[in-house]
Amino acid sequence: MAMRGLTQFIGDIRNCANKEEERKRVDKEMANIRKHFKEATKLTAYQKKKYVWKMLYIYVLGYEVDFGHMEALNLITAQGYSEKMVGYLACVLLLSETNEFLRLIINSVKNDLMSANEEIQGLALACVANVGGREFAETLAGDVQRILLSNHSRPQARKKAALCMLRLLRKYPDAFGEDGIGGNQDQRDSLYDLLEDPSLGVVTATMSLLIGLVSHNPELWTDSVNKCCKLLSKLNHPNAAKEFGQEYVYYKTINPWLQVKILRLLQYYPPPERHEVHTKLCDVLLHIISDAQMQKNVNTNNSAHSVVFEAINYVIHMETNKELISSAVSMLGQRMTASNQPNYRYLALDAMQRMSHIPDAAQQFKKHQETIIKSLKDNDVSLRRRALDVLYSMCDSKNSEQVVGELLDYLQGGDYAIREELVLRVAILAERFSPNLQWYVDTILKLMTLAGDYVSDHIWMRVVQIVTNNEELQLYAAETCYRSLKSESVHESMIKCGGYILGEFGHHIAHKNETSPDNQFMILKEKFHACEQWETKQILISSCVKLVNVHPQIKGAVVELLKKHTTTIDAELQQRAIEYLALTAPGKETMLETVLDVMPNFPERESILTKKIKERERVSTTDRTAAQIKSEQNKDDEDGPQTVDLSASAVKSSASRAKSQLSPSQNPHNDLLDLTAEEPSHMGGGGGGGGGGNLDDLLGAPSQPAATQKSQNLGGLDDLLGGGSPPPPAHGAQQGSLMDDMLGLGIYEDPIINVQAQLAVQGNVAKILLRYTNKSFSEISAFKTAVQQVKIPAMLFQVQDAATSIAPNATITQQVQMQAKTYFSEPPKLALSFSAQGSPRQVTTWLPVHVCKFQQPVTCNKDQYFAVWGKITGAPNESVNVFKSPRPIVRTDVENVVKTINYSALQGVDPNPNNVCGAAKINLGAGDVYCVIRLEIDSAQQAYKLTVKTNNAQVTREGGWGCNAL
C-alpha cells in the first residue's frame, strides 16, 4: 500500500533547488516526526510505519537521526509483516552492534526465528547477520543453527540461515560453544546432507558456509572432499540441466558460482585418496578445461571461464596429473591469442606464472614463448608485468639467450612503468642461466648502457665479484670494459664497474698499444672529470692508484691528480687522495704494494642477486627450468629429499606426533611455574622429537645427529621450521625472552588500585609477575583474581594464589604462568574482585600476552626464504592486503615496524631493494607456525602490498601483521 505522505515528502526533497532548501525541508519534517512521537500511543500502525520510513529516508540522505529509535524497534514486536519489515530495516540502518537498544529486541528476534512464517524468519535472520553483536550471536546462534539443520525449514529460510551462520562464524566463531559448528558427527552429517538438497540455492549457501568452516578447522571437515567431488560430478553431467532445472543455468553453465565454491573448498585439502573418487574428479576437471570454447556472447564466456580458471587453480594445487596439466597449458595458450579479450590474457598469464614451478607445465609453456613475448608490447601495463613474470619463470639454460635478448630489446622501448623490475629480472636471469661467463659480462654491460639509471649498485658489484672469482674471465672483462669506457656517453654505473675492473685487472691488457697503462689512465681520468657522483670519483681514484702499483711509469700523472684533490669538498675523496699520496711517497714502495695488492676472491655467500656462479657453471645445457634446478639442488642427500605437506591435515598429524613424543616430565599439565626446569624439546624446536626434521623435509638437507645440531648454529630457516634452534639454556641460565624485565608496565589503574606486569617468554611458555598496589588509605579485602580466556581454550594456566587483602599503600605480587597450545587472536583477561571503602568492586583488564610474544624472528638467505615461499601458495595459507600509508614511506621505518612485531627484516632477499621481507616462527605447543611476509612498497602512491604466508590458515586469516602500525 502506497504511503501518500511519504511519497509527497520524497517529491519535495527531489524538487529542492539547493542543499540549503533541502535541509530546511528535512528539519521541518524531523520536527513534525518528533512531535508525533511524543504521543506515540495515539498513533496508528500506519502512521508509525510512515514516520519511520521518513526517518530512514532522511538517514540515507546523510542526515543524523538521533531520536525515534525506540518507536522504530517497537514495530519489530508487531504481528504484521509490513510493520516488522520497517522495524528490522530501521534496526539494521540506525543501530550498531554495540548499541544497548539491541538487548530490548533479542526476545522478539528469537520469537521470529521460531516463527512458522518463512518471510518473518528471513527478516530476523537478516537482522542477526547484519547487525548482531556478540550478545546477539551468543544468544541466537543456536536458533539459527536449528533453522538450517531442521527438516521442517523451508528452502528460503535455510539459505538465509546458512549465510547468517557464516557471518557469525567469521565474526564470533566462539558463539557456537566450545565444540563449534560441527562439533559432533551428527551435526556434520546433517550439514553434508544439505549438499544433496533439491534446491541449488540451499546447496550454494551451504557451500559458502562450509568453506568458512573449513577455513577455521580443516581437520574437522575432511569428509567434505568426497561429498564435493560427487556434487561437482553431478553438476557437470550431460543431463544436469534437466535434473536441477533451467533456473540455475546461467548462460549455458549450470550454477557457475557453486562450481567455483566447490573447487575452492577442494584446494584446502590434498587430492582425494580413494582411487575412484580421484579418477572421477580428474575426468570432471578435464571435461571443464577441454570443453571451454570462446563464444560470441560475453556473458557466456564469463560464466564458463569462471569455472575453468578455478579448475586450473585446482590443477595447480594437485601438481601431479600430467594430462590435466597438458590440457590446462593448451587452454591457457589458446586464451593468450584472444587479442580482443585482455582479461582472459591476463588470467592466462597469471595462471602460467603460478604453474611455472611445475616441471611438466614449464616445458610446455615454451610452445607459447613467442606469444608471451608479444604480450610485453601490450598497451596494458598489468599484462606487461604478468608477461615479464612468466618469462622470468619459464627461462632456463636452453632458452636464456633468447629470453634475455628479447627482454633487452624490449628495454630499449622505454617502458618506464616496469623498467626497474625488468632490469633486476634480466640481471638475475643472466647470472642464473648464463651459457658462459663472457656472455654474462656482455649482457650486464649492455644492461648498464640501456638502463643505467635503474641498475642498482649490487648488480655491477656482482659483476665485479664474478670477474674477481674467475681468473679466466679477467682478461675478457678488462678488454670489454675498456671498449665500453671509450664511448662518449657512458652511464655512471658502467663507469663504476669498468673503473674497478681496470684498476684490478687492467694489467692483463697493458701489453697492447691501444690499451697501454697510459691509455687506461687517460680513460679513467677523463671519466673522473665527467662523472657527477662523488662515490664514482672515489672508485676511480682508487683504480688509478692501483695502476701505479703495477705500472710505475704513470706515477707522476697519478700523483698530480691526487694533489689536486687533497682539498676537495668531499671528505671521503679528500681522505683517499691524502692517504694515497702518502703511499706513493719515495721509500713507501713496499707498503704501497702490500696495501694495493690484488683483491682476494669474494666469498660466494656474499652474492645478493642469485645463487653461486660456480653452481651455475655446473648446470648442464639440457632443457631444464628454474623450478627443476631448484629441486635438484636440494638433492644433496643420497636418499633424496622428502616433501613437506603443509596442508592442514599434515600439520595436524605433525602436532599429534609431537604430543605423543612428550615424556612425562614434558607434560603441559605438570608444574608450569618451575621455569628452571629443562625446556621441553617441542617448545624450543631443537633436536628433540618434537620439531626436528622439518627443514630437512622442505629443503632436502641431510639429517644430522642431535649432538651435531646442538653444536651448530644453523640459523636461517632451520630455526623457522624447527630443525636447528639452539638448545634451551642450562639450569640457572638467564631465560631468553622476547620482552625481558618489562618493569612498570601498567595494565590497569584507578584511584584505589594499580596493577603492573612484568613479562618473560621462552619458547611457548610465558611467565608474568603481577604487582597489585593499594593506592588508598583503607585496606582492600576479599581480594580474588582469575585469568580468563576470551575465545576457545588456547592456553594452559597455572596461577599462584594471591593474598586475600592488601594493606594501605602496600603491594603484593602474584605469579602467573601460561603455555600457548594453539594460536589465539585475543589475549587473556585478568579479572579482579575485592572490597574497598565499604563497597564491592570488580575490574577486568587485558594481560599483556599477545601471540606475537611467542614469536621469534628468523634470519635466512634468499634461497631458503623462497624455498618456503614457493611451498605455500593460495588460500587459506596465503593472504594479500593492499592499503595506504597515512604518512610518507621511509624504508628504515618500515623495517623497524617489521622488527617490532618480531619478524626479521631480511636484507638482500627481495629482487626489488625497496621491498621488505621477513620471517618468523611462532612457538606453540600443538606445533610451531612458520610465517614469511613480503611487504611491497609503492612510495609514489604511499601504498603497501602485504603478502603473508604461513602453514596455519587461522594465523594467516586473523593475524594483524602490523598493518595499523604502518
Q: Residues forming the annotated binding site?
A: 4-5, 46, 50-54
Q: Buried (b) or exposed (e) across 5-30, using 16+ Cβ within 10 A?
A: ebeebeeebeeeeeeeebeebbeebb
Write out the DSSP string of 7-26. HHHHHHHHT-SSHHHHHHHH
Cβ atoms of 783 and 805 within 8 Å: the answer is yes
Which residues sit opposite 745 in a β-bridge?
757
Say if CB 304 and CB 252 are below 8 A apart.
Answer: yes
Give the separation between CA 888 and CA 835, rounded to whole angstroms.
51
CA atoms within 13 A on the CB side of 637: 13
- Closest listed residue to residue 315, CA positions, set 271, 252, 256, 367: 271
Note whether 775 and 756 are within 8 A (CB).
no
Report the half-sphere exposure of 318 (CA within 13 A, side-chain side).
26
Q: At what angle do helices 118-130 and 81-94 cross, to 10 degrees?
A: 10
CA–CA distance, 516 with 194 (Å, rounded to integer): 86
Look up residue 787 and give its three cell numbers: 585469568
Dist. CA 253–CA 259, nearest whole Å: 10
Compute how many other C-beta atoms are within 10 angstroms of the C-beta atom of residue 830. 25
Cα–Cα dist 235/227, whole Å? 13
Amino acid identity of residue 570, one-letter, is D
Q: What whole-number distance in Å separates Cα of residue 189 and Cα of residue 195? A: 10
CA pair distance 674, 237, nearest whole angstrom: 63
Distances (CA, A) of 906 to 373, 914, 918, 944: 33, 12, 5, 17
Taking each helix axis as running N to C, give the angle between helix 275-290 and helix 298-318, from 0 to 180 degrees, rounded to the nearest 10.
140
For residue 766, what are the contacts with CB-CB under 8 A and spacing of at least 6? 759, 760, 817, 818, 819, 820, 849, 853, 854
| Cβ pair 369, 394 in contact under 8 A | yes
Residue at grid coordinates 543453527: 145
The closest of 112, 86, 174 to 137, measured between CA atoms, is 174
In this structure, what DSSP letter does residue 791 have? S
The whole-angstrom separation of Cα 311 and Cα 316 is 9
Residue type, 891: R
